[in-house]
Structure 1
């Protein structure tokens, strides 16, 4: 639920305005004056950062910048914008996702959205903000150079070094190497995979592993993945095409991202004609079916969990089918996923995860240790502020920054 605030010259800049899902308030126990244990332990469908501080200073909020369209960076904006009423700056694809969220909410909000391009610079109050493209598991993900007359901050957003990202341009180190001459005061950096050695796997590497697993199955195959990962969707459609299968999408977020990818020009035209409805797919031979479904984290209301409980209207999973988890286990979801896999295996369905195969079937969108070392070496900030991760990830990121000879780490 990212919400970052920068202050300079009596003005404020917000970077991202996101939500988290199915969480309790235990993480902000210290800020709960009533010490209400029920409120702390109860899980809520959606949680955002508390906007009270900046809402009380809304007149000084020069603008909101959204780095990319993932829910933990964009998802609270529609709900909270009326407290701020300031301009929003983002890219075309993210603006497309924002407009869709506005239409779904049916809120009559006239949010002024300024579209920015790669490399462009906007003056937002006293902040000069430059957009620098990087690679992530979402199109048009950007880092920000935030410059003021007293110093500059480099804000990475979510990123990895990927030279074969499937969607968008390969990672280009040059703009980041050029930042070293600016004497950057602080670098606010994604920590999500900082405890993992080596380099994060390229998104393009997933094709071969998924193709191998799907081509080996004689029956119906279902792949579950994160619904927002357009690159993975494209890869799976390519696998379907190359293995002689047709595709059904189960889950609203998958359909939404498929439409957005086509509208934004990211969808390859050679993959058109493969998509069937769940009702239509039921009439095809099982060896011609590839289903892509939401629910990789065991969410009870997602498509895969409903299929495991025989509660999906148009389809049923049967003995001999194969389910592939093209995903990781997000901490906190272990119990839900374990229960889901047990339900599938009780139906005599084969289950493949990244933890029981040597093939690459998932790639994270976040930097591992070597990615961090490279970027720190290029940018050469004076201070690193780890963000976006649990405490162990933040500590690991600070350790990597120290290894990269960054003078200070917070």
Structure 2
């Protein structure tokens, strides 16, 4: 490698300008032949604007084309927005993947039958150092809402970069030890080139409360509740799951677990010792015979997912468990932007049952796993980087973080977005190029962009439905019979009560019969005339133009 022209660069393909789908690239070398390392490989989840889509993945075409120079991937922790795309994307990369034992166990537990590829997983522990090509990585243990979260101290020929991943300062965490601030201070003393840092709560003043305070508040609320208590939270929040289990035990209640993903995470956490010392949850059959005031339930569905346990409880669809007046549901979570309506629908269903809703504005039942502004200030004070690189946030979070870093006296603040290629060294940090950084989608067993998986047409179908017309012409190019028509997703009648299919069929027949017989030899022309007539008639009658497919054949 020609070190004379070497550069250290960072390029996010996801997670910068958005919450979720974290995927970062670090590169060393001259522009023509850099060696690359991936940090995190996450997903985000589709909203109603992406009908039929299962997962949203980063577009990795850039690094896929550089696969010969890709030396490895490092995962900071086992949250979906940081590791959720590995099983889907790794076959296109086939590089070693470095992660903790808990993250590896979580990855294996979510493997689907068709995902049989054997990933080259290499485990690391806190404070261990390992190499990924020209990068030397030290795993720095931090505090978050899941076991084994790490910041990465990346040593390079240009200096050191601290990639924080998700973190917070919590003096009394539910899992693990508090962040070693002396270790961070030592990093600062020895010199830190750049801090690539979490921006999630950069707009929130103060410091995040401790998980212990949430534990104590949950215990108080569960103890004084007169009926059944349901606590819903993120299934991946193992720290919160442990807090709920402790609160149920301390309030004298048995605990029931509802939701497949919740049970999966608890199985992994239990196998690795993170739930030691806590009573075993009861089964659904056992819960049915436990007095209401002696039962607590922890379940999935905090984000309004229609098929999750909480939604089924709100619809009274659970096989052996129901809620009634006097029961309470605690939302031990925050609403991810875009999920508010679905969550409110569930809340309204619960209120109709007479169930009390308890949220963070009434009692401390949730705390974020990300740093607030004073914690960010502490991090900058301890590590004293030359360059600040705000990541993991939407535009407003990134801007607030950048302003805070500048206010803390950081010499260079690099404001970047997905697809920006940031030169960290040598010289001043600056954006030197743009690379492809879009979105791909998992749709069943297939992957692709919005065009490849038919998402654009799917949106149109959701808006105005589809009409299918089958036309058969005889040997003289006249209609053999009335065409068959089927309208899906359209109103049944017009404003006067006449069948809409009949109206559209008449329009299509009229258009076909208006074509001179000789010109009907062109069956494509006949199909297009019928298609246009149906769309025009639908617009006049309904005010919308459906998708139309016309089949024309001659016998």
* TM-score of Structure 1 vs Structure 2, range by shorter chain: over 0.9
| CA–CA distance in structure 2, aligned partners of residues 41 and 82 of structure 1 | 25
Q: How large is the RMSD of aligned CA atoms in angstroms?
A: 1.4
Of the candidates 33, 54, 63, which is equivalent to residue 72 of structure 2? 63
2:27 is the counterpart of 1:7: yes
Q: Could you tell me whether the CA contact under 8 Å between 2:330 and 2:358 is conserved in 1?
A: yes
Deviation readout 1:132-164 (Å, 9 max, x if unpaired): 111000110000111211232210000000111
Of the candidates 376, 382, 388, which is equivalent to residue 378 of structure 1? 382
Deviation readout 1:182-222 (Å, 9 max, x if unpaired): 43222111000110000011111111211111111121111
| CA–CA distance in structure 2, aligned partners of residues 230 and 150 of structure 1 | 37
| CA–CA distance in structure 2, aligned partners of residues 243 and 405 of structure 1 | 48
| Alpha-carbon distance, 1:313 to partner | 2.2
Residues 372/227 of structure 1: CA separation in 2 closer, same or farther (3 Å cut): same
2:88 is the counterpart of 1:76: no
Of the candidates 309, 313, 316, which is equivalent to residue 319 of structure 2? 313
Structure 1 partner of 2:41: 17
| CA–CA distance in structure 2, aligned partners of residues 183 and 282 of structure 1 | 60
| Alpha-carbon distance, 1:281 to partner | 0.5
Structure 2 partner of 1:401: 405
Task: Give matches, 1:5-404, under 5 Å.
Answer: 5-9=25-29, 10-23=34-47, 42=51, 44-102=53-111, 104-269=112-277, 271-273=278-280, 275-355=281-361, 357=362, 359-404=363-408
Deviation readout 1:280-327 (Å, 9 max, x if unpaired): 201111011101011111111111011111222222222221111111
Partner of 2:54, secondary structure, is: strand
Q: Could you tell me whether the CA contact under 8 Å between 1:18 and 1:74 is conserved in 2?
A: yes
Structure 1: give runs of 5+ residues left out of the alignment. Answer: 25-39
Deviation readout 1:28-58 (Å, 9 max, x if unpaired): xxxxxxxxxxxx7647331011111111111
Deviation readout 1:246-279 (Å, 9 max, x if unpaired): 111111121112111111111122x133x11123
- Which protein shows a greater Rg? 2
Q: Provide TM-score, normalisation by structure 2.
A: 0.69
| CA–CA distance in structure 2, aligned partners of residues 186 and 329 of structure 1 | 32
Partner of 1:44, secondary structure, is: coil
| Alpha-carbon distance, 1:106 to partner | 4.2
| Alpha-carbon distance, 1:23 to partner | 3.8
Count of matched residue pairs: 390
| CA–CA distance in structure 2, aligned partners of residues 218 and 371 of structure 1 | 38
| Alpha-carbon distance, 1:74 to partner | 0.7
Partner of 2:45, secondary structure, is: strand
| CA–CA distance in structure 1, aligned partners of residues 387 and 51 of structure 2 | 37
Q: Could you tell me whether the CA contact under 8 Å between 1:23 and 1:46 is conserved in 2?
A: no
| CA–CA distance in structure 2, aligned partners of residues 372 and 197 of structure 1 | 10
Structure 2: give runs of 5+ residues left out of the alignment. Answer: 1-20, 416-555
Partner of 1:19, secondary structure, is: coil
Q: Could you tell me whether the CA contact under 8 Å between 2:249 and 2:279 is conserved in 1?
A: no
Structure 1 partner of 2:529: none
Q: Provide TM-score, normalisation by structure 1.
A: 0.92
